[in-house]
Structure 1
Amino acid sequence: MFNEETVQAIREQSHKMEQTGEPTPQVLDFIYEHDLFKLFVPGELGGKMTPLPDALRIFEETAWIDGSLGWLVSIGSGGGFFTSAISPEVSHTLFSNREAVIAGSGFPSGRAKQVEGGFVVSGQWKYCSGSTHATIFTANAVIENETSTASHIRSFIFLPEQVRIHQDWNAFGLKATASHSISVEKEFVPEAMTFDLMQNPFHFHDPIFHYPFVPFAQASFAATAIGIGRHFLEEANHLLEKNRATWATSSPDRVSFVNDKIEEMEHLFNRRVDDFYKIVDDSWAQHLRQQPLTEEGQQQISLKCQETAQAVLRCAGSIFPFLGIQAVMEEAPVNRTWRDLQTACQHTLLIPFREIDITNKD
């Protein structure tokens, strides 16, 4: 999708982005130029509604270019999923801008009190990727009802001037995603600037809005991990070629061992990736036939996403120890991709929390 010159130009920004902790203006311009934050925004709002299988391959490709770029694209574009739950009038105001993108959190760590015309909200939310360039913030809060012990969760939309960004993203990977905490203190939010994904009114009817949200999110993250993993394998091969002559002289068996290890992991990687796209593509085709995905079918997709991410992670982990001292230098591309992959695969939605077999499947 993106030409070699573009890929190289972005990768030349990677080290600088790691140092600053956020994407450069040039990388953001690339995202805006290709509407990568608007993959799931309806055409009426200036978006480019993209079928899920196509979007996943875009996530993979952008993550292959640079891990932080891929993460920001998958997270940022995923915010378009909310447009169906927000009134068209509000969505038009929020999303029509060329640079419109959401940063936020799904964890209900806020509190809201209903008042006339809306809510007063306070809270702090962690890991809000894209916080420094977001034009919209969303966060979940528990609505406190003074007359009842009952409470429920609702999503709230904040404008940048309502939000304080806490510069606390200090992870060793995906450094340029600006995944900082945000907080608000007794901010008034009009009723129209709230929504409830559990009772989605479907103001827009593109098929993506009716696809189950959790498998959608898991597939997006898994595709991002695939892209980072593919870049890691390329960098491992580059490092092997760079050191082939030296290693052959100092340790004659080393070149063939590392080469065989990379080839073995590439084979496993490609099998798992093919399996991943097959199950997601098949589920999308079923969805388009208006055949609802069963609970069991959704669980199979979820497990496949987790299996794929863990397989990619283990492929990289099986190779990394044999790449030599150069691989532990933070400025080395193979090191950055390894760190980005560890970080991406740490997301809760990609962890099965049980032992899985990723190798003995055909």
Structure 2
Amino acid sequence: MAQSQGTEPERAAHNSATAFDEMLAELAERRQEFREQRYVSKDFVHRLKGLGLYRSATPERFGGQTMPPAEFLRKIERISAVDGSTGWVASFGSQLVYLGSLPLETQAKLYADGPDVVFAGALFPIQQATPTDRGFLISGRWKFASGCMAADIICVGIPGDDSTSGKPRGALVRPEDVQIVQDWDVVGMRGTGSFDVLADNVEVDREWTFIRGGEPVVDEPLYRYPAITYAAQSLSVVSAGVARAALDHAKEVGSGRGSITGAPKLADRAYYRAGIAEAEAVLRSARAYFYEAADEAWQTLVAGGLVSDEQNAHLRLSAAYLARTSSEVVHKVVSLSGTAAIYRDHPLQALLGDALVPQEHAFLSPAMYDAAGAVLMGRPPTVPAFR
């Protein structure tokens, strides 16, 4: 009789890795479908749920299975290397930490049907809300609700008050209570479904509102990891996956056919070899800094400490640097690839558009360099919501 291979945890890990690889294979077949319809289909998001991505940040007391940030980020990077849009949508699995400041009774209701909750956020522009006996009556239109077509809960932004120190509130609404306006028409991250959300006199109970980055009531290590910082990292790492796809394409194509002009293959040209090698080194260096900062912060928390302001500055700085570096890597690959890359249907064109988007996010803007530098020099950060 054949003996089973490995221990039960080893078999479970193998099965999980196999399921992840099978998901990536399906994604490679369906990414064009997602780009054309401009959102990731709900059935595929359900498959991501099955891989644990949407319970990785759910509180363990509500059935969550905590995934260390670096582990989660590596999974998002792998997905993004196949399709940046799907990586972007999957990255929102980390953002349930935003909801850690909700009353525990509200969180119990949120996770009543299970720990796999798909969260979509459309916080801005902040829209007016009328106070009621129960909470707030909200109306307005909010932008950039990435992943809303498959969301279980959607966050929209309303003004804060004295109790929030002026910070805006996030109000949680069910998808069936709002209208999704499919207006997403962009050159990059086309499949994220970052549509507008429209509400008309929807009443939200006060206990279903929260302050983004507010003090959590959940006492678990992941909920002591800076929430806004984790969101920034989750979006940044998408760009690293896109850059990896561009470099893999460059190495594959470089060894292919020669130029139509009779010139040598790309891989036989010194400038191409040197340029791709340099881009490879630059990307790997930025990734090393990024993951080093994430691992260091997590180990501090696991040991019972708190993430310091300096550690948080490195988390924010490495995330902004990775997004910008990854975009530069994709641009470098395109510039080295000759006239083939100028055609609209060339694979690098989709990657070029996808690489543009993460660095444009407010969490990853050039302002993060100044803010991080200020903290590293013992001064307050120069931007709000830095931690």
TM-score between both structures, scaled by the size of structure 1: 0.87
Equivalent residue for 2:38? 21
Contact 1:46 1:96 in 2 (8 A): no
| Aligned residue among 53, 74, 95 for 1:36 | 53
Aligned amino acid, residue 248 of structure 2: E
Matched AA of 1:344 = P
Cα deviation for residue 347 of structure 1 reads: 1.2
Output the CA distance in 2 between the equivalents of 1:152 and 1:345. 24
- The equivalent position to 2:308 in structure 1, one of 274, 277, 294, is 294
Match of 1:170 in 2: 185
Q: For residue 102 of structure 2, what is the aligned residue in structure 1?
A: 86
Structure 2 CA distance, aligned partners of 1:115 and 1:352?
40
Are 2:124 and 1:111 equivalent residues in the alignment?
no
SS of aligned partner of 1:156: strand
CA distance, structure 1, for counterparts of residue 334 and residue 113 of structure 2: 43
Identity %: 22
- 1:2-39 Cα deviation digits (max 9, x unpaired): 56544232111111111111113552232122122221
The letter of the residue matching 1:71 is: W
- Tell me the CA shift for residue 247 of structure 1: 2.6
Q: Which amino acid aligns with 1:14?
A: R
Are 1:251 and 2:266 counterparts?
Answer: no
Q: Where is the strand percentage greater, Structure 1 or Structure 2?
A: 1
The aligned residue for residue 263 of structure 1 is 277
The reply to whether residue 190 of structure 1 matches residue 205 of structure 2 is: yes
Deviations 1:264-287 (A, max 9, x none): 211121122112211221122123
Matched, 1:10 2:24: no
Note if contact 2:98-2:212 (Cα within 8 Å) is conserved in structure 1: yes
The CA deviation string for residues 175-199 of structure 1, in whole angstroms up to 9 with x for no partner, is 1110011121221111222223454
Alpha-carbon distance in structure 2 between the residues aligned to 1:113 and 1:233: 51
Native 8 Å contact 1:114 1:144 kept in 2: no
1:100 maps to: 117
Contact residue 255 and residue 265 of structure 2 kept, 8 A: no
Out of 89, 101, 111, the residue aligned to residue 72 of structure 1 is 89
Deviates more, 1:26-35 or 1:336-345: 26-35
1:106 Cα deviation after fit: 3.1
Classify the secondary structure of the residue corresponding to 1:55.
helix
CA distance in 2, matches of 1:152, 1:42: 24
Aligned 8 A contact 1:136 1:160 in 2: yes
Distance 1:281 1:151, change over 3 A: closer
Tell me the alpha carbon deviations over residues 123-177 of structure 1, each in whole angstroms, 9 at most, x when there is no partner. Answer: 22111101111121112201579xxxx9663221111122111111111111111
Q: Secondary structure at the residue paired with 1:184? A: strand
- For residues 260 and 50 of structure 1, do their structure 2 counterparts lie closer, same or farther at Cα, with a shift above 3 Å needed? same
Say whether the 8 Å CA contact 2:98–2:227 is kept in structure 1. no
C-alpha change, 1:110 and 1:323, in structure 2 (3 Å) is same
Does the CA contact (< 8 Å) of 2:58 and 2:96 recur in 1?
yes
Distance (Å, rounded) in 2 between the aligned partners of 1:270 and 1:70:
19
Match of 2:196 in 1: 181
The one of 165, 169, 174 equivalent to 1:159 is 174
1:110 and 1:323 mapped to 2: Cα distance?
46
Paired residues of 1:105 and 1:127 also in contact (CA < 8 A): yes
| Structure 1: runs of 5 or more not aligned | 357-362
Q: What is the one-letter code of the residue matched to 1:129?
A: S
CA distance 1:117–1:129, shift in 2 (3 Å): same
- Supply the distance in 1 between the matched residues of 2:254 and 2:213 (Cα, whole angstroms): 50
Report if aligned partners of 1:236, 1:334 keep a CA contact under 8 Å in 2: no
CA contact (8 A) 1:84 1:205 kept: no
AA aligned opposite 1:55: F
Quote the Cα distance in structure 2 between the aligned partners of 1:345 and 1:231.
Answer: 17
Deviations 1:58-90 (A, max 9, x none): 111121221111100112x13311342223333
Contact kept in structure 2, 1:41 and 1:47, CA below 8 Å: yes
2: CA distance, partners of 1:222 / 1:86 = 26
| 1:83–1:355 CA distance, 2 compared to 1 (3 A) | closer
SS of match in other structure, 1:63: helix
Instruction: Out of 209-218 and 330-339, give the one that drifted further.
Output: 330-339
Instruction: Describe how 1:277-288 pairs up with structure 2 within 5 A.
Output: 277-288=291-302
d(CA) in 1 for partners of 2:173 and 2:368? 37
| Cα distance between partner residues in 2 of 1:196 and 1:144 | 11
Query: What TM-score do you get using the length of structure 2 for normalisation?
Result: 0.82
* Contact map agreement 1:125 1:139 (CA 8 A) in 2: yes
Helix, strand or coil: the match of 1:125?
Answer: strand
Task: Summarize the Cα distance change of 1:308–1:187 in structure 2 as closer, same or farther, 3 Å threshold.
Answer: same
- The equivalent position to 1:323 in structure 2, one of 320, 337, 342, is 337
Q: State whether residues 98 and 213 of structure 2, in contact with CA within 8 Å, keep that contact through their aligned partners in structure 1.
A: no
The residue type equivalent to 2:200 in the other structure is E
Amino acid at match of 1:306: A
Match of 2:358 in 1: 344
